Amino acid sequence: MADLLNPLAADAAAAGLIAPTWDTLPALLRDWTGQKPLLVCSGGTTTRCAAPGHWTLDMRPGFQEMELGEQGAIRIAAGCRMSSVLDHLAARGRTVGAGLSCLPGVGYVLTGGVGPLSRSHGLAIDQLTQIEGVWGNGESFNLRPSVDREWRGLCGAAPFLAVITHVTLATWPLAPLWIRQDTIELTELPVWIAEAEAWPNSRSLQWSWRYNATVDLLQVSEEPFQGSHAIDGQHQLPPLGGQSANDTRIHSEVLGLLGPAAAPRWREVLPELTALMRERPHPSCSLAGQQLGGQTGRVGWQASAFIHRDAVWKPWITAAWAAGDADQRQSSLGWLQKVWSLLSPICPGVHLAQLHEHLPWHKRVLQQAFGAYLPELRTLKRERDPAGNLPSL
């Protein structure tokens, strides 16, 4: 399992990897009698692409093709990383919505797809024109956008329902982006949040709080602004906050939240957040944020499983610990929950870009991610994955 990118998944005592093909996948799911749920690896960044005693469907060996159609849509196989997709498109003068990290695979798209250009182009699920795959019960499908509940469920909750083999996404012409990186004093963060909430949709703010008193900023814009410099496109975006110099093997869990514009509320909780950051059990415990809004809010909440269309901010909390240190793991997960509780009134929603079935707050994150849509989603789950081959709802 050492080739899995995420250290926690790579170190898991997993049963092994299965590399399916389009021909073998339906029967594999239909007849599966092994440990459940089956887990899926595309890019390998999720902590749940492998787990102790579970088998992983490794989509990377058999699903690597990319095809750019005449109408400008790209068909992507499930084993492709977003970095490869961006490079492939850039060489052809096109691009597509992607996240701050280019390491994830198609799972980035299927869980919503928040990125620096979401304010002007919408979420990645809003760019989907076709989804192909196999339901948890072994039935194949090939769907295009519709009001059907199957399409809605796959757009944001696909990992619970099906194994996706291919997605087709609309693209747009490649154009330069303007970026600026800054390091600010912690007390300035609410000011920047307030300013960003008034920006045009062509510009977004990303921030990373990894240290006690300073915050790293990354502004991304489709138009020049003061102090910015140009890059060719998303494939050249720098990492948010830079690269960590710590080469110790670190395990981590990430929880993404969603909430509306609320700059004054951030100022109110800043003293308590500062105290919690000083109490971090491990230096890699962190808090970061990403701006949504604009086009992401112009799609009805009933159109997909991503119901938090009023969200303007996505903060995410990272709990980290040294591999094998059970006490530090418990302390770090407890720290994550304290930060979560403090931020819940500001950001009551959850973005399930990472699955948490193995953690005690799985039911809570499902409710906060899908809200009133959860009962309908569970009905779809019973129909399309009655044996529970895939992660539970």
| 252 shares its domain with 308 | yes
| 102 shares its domain with 193 | no
pLDDT surpassing 60 at residue 246: no
| 27 shares its domain with 75 | no
With 0-12 CB in 10 A as exposed, 13-18 as middle and 19+ as buried, what is 228?
middle
Average of per-residue pLDDT across 103-128: 95
Tell me, yes or no, whether 391 lies in a domain: no
Residue 145: give its domain's CATH number: 3.30.465.10
Q: Cα–Cα–Cα angle for 152, 130, 54, nearest 5°?
A: 70
* pLDDT reported for residue 241: 72
Confidence of residue 1 (pLDDT cuts 50, 70, 90): low
| 183 shares its domain with 169 | no
Per-residue pLDDT of 252-291, as tens digits, reads 999 999 999 999 999 999 999 999 999 999 999 999 999 9
> Above pLDDT 90, what percent of the chain?
91
Average of per-residue pLDDT across 158-187: 97
| 31 shares its domain with 86 | no
- Domain boundary at 173, 205, 229, which? 173
| 285 shares its domain with 231 | yes
Confidence of residue 103 (pLDDT cuts 50, 70, 90): confident
* pLDDT reported for residue 281: 97
> Bigger pLDDT: 71 or 330?
330
Tell me, yes or no, whether 1 lies in a domain: no
Tell me, yes or no, whether 28 lies in a domain: yes
| 149 shares its domain with 221 | no
Per-residue pLDDT of 117-161, as tens digits, reads 999 999 999 999 999 999 999 999 999 999 899 999 999 999 999
Cα–chain center distance at 246: 24
Average of per-residue pLDDT across 159-171: 98
Mean residue pLDDT of the chain comes to 94
Confidence of residue 247 (pLDDT cuts 50, 70, 90): low
| 96 shares its domain with 164 | yes
Tell me, yes or no, whether 390 lies in a domain: no
| 143 shares its domain with 200 | no
Confidence of residue 243 (pLDDT cuts 50, 70, 90): low
Tell me, yes or no, whether 386 lies in a domain: no
Per-residue pLDDT of 348-361, as tens digits, reads 999 999 999 999 99
Max CA distance (Å), the chain: 59
Confidence of residue 245 (pLDDT cuts 50, 70, 90): very low
| 213 shares its domain with 268 | yes
Q: Which domain holds residue 40?
A: 15-58
Tell me, yes or no, whether 378 lies in a domain: no
Tell me, yes or no, whether 265 lies in a domain: yes
> Bigger pLDDT: 136 or 5?
136
| 181 shares its domain with 168 | no
**Residue 3 is encoded by which pair of tokens?**
């080739």
**Which range is least confidently modeled, 75-84, 95-104, 140-149, 190-199?**
95-104
> Above pLDDT 70, what percent of the chain?
98
For β-strands 55-58 and 16-18, DSSP reports them as: parallel
Per-residue pLDDT of 282-302, as tens digits, reads 999 999 999 999 999 999 999
Per-residue pLDDT of 46-84, as tens digits, reads 889 999 999 999 999 999 999 999 889 999 999 999 999
Q: How many domains does the chain have?
A: 3
* pLDDT reported for residue 240: 87
| 226 shares its domain with 254 | yes
**Residue 304 is encoded by which pair of tokens?**
């997909």
Tell me, yes or no, whether 382 lies in a domain: no
Nearest CA among 304, 286, 302, 307 for reference residue 211 = 286
Q: Could you tell me the sign of the dihedral formed by the alpha carbons of 100, 101, 102, 108, in that order?
A: negative
pLDDT surpassing 90 at residue 248: no
Residue 224: give its domain's CATH number: 3.40.462.20
Average of per-residue pLDDT across 191-195: 97
